[in-house]
Amino acid sequence: MGKFLIAGLGNIGSDYSGTRHNIGFDVLDAFAAGKGGRFSLERLAEMVEVKWHGQVFICIKPTTYMNESGRAVKYWMDKEKIALDHILVVLDDLALPLTKLRLRPGGSDAGHNGLRSIQGHLGTSDYPKLRFGIGNNFPKGRQADFVLGKWASGEVPVVEEKIRKSVEIIESFATIGIERTMSQYNNLEFEL
């Protein structure tokens, strides 16, 4: 039986709920709800432990705000004694179009403050990431408004479909491994 730490990135508080930057929280909510799990407030994160197909998932939504996500990830990784390759961080990605999801075993923070914090606390960028493309359809200088903004009504159906696929990816990652999961999902194109 394997144990996995699934960290969805976002910001706590109703102001951030449903924003592009909080998609990591939304994916974890869907994953846990589908397995009968309910989050409770724990140290540095909202946390739920769920079991599925012989695997244990420690799911966290850091309460540290995005820029300090690494504190929560490191704490729960150490507390639960979870190996680096059994961590999966779910986050929004401006560099990917809204039509894409991308799973990788490593990779740079690409300017994402949550990943920069995690890399700083773990001392490496070599941990699995599921990047949820949010596109970059914003005027120059308006990046913060865009990532902290709500989805446009025309985007909602593709976002909901990608959340469902993200849940499948988490399950697949834990059962058949990252390489096979990447080959199965990374080339999917979602219709807008």
Q: Which residues are catalytic?
A: 21
Distances (CA, A) of 46 to 11, 23, 37, 42, 152: 11, 15, 12, 6, 27
Neighbouring-strand partners of residue 49: 58
Q: What is the CA radius of gyration of the chain?
A: 15
Residue with tokens 């190996």: 83
- Sequential DSSP letters for 52-114: ETTEEEEEEEESS-GGGHHHHHHHHHHHHT--GGGEEEEEEETTS-TT-EEEES----TT-HH
Q: How far apart are CA 78 and CA 92, in angstroms?
A: 25
**Which 3 state secondary structure label does DSSP give 129?**
strand
Distances (CA, A) of 170 to 4, 122, 146, 154: 10, 21, 26, 26
Residue with tokens 């999966």: 88
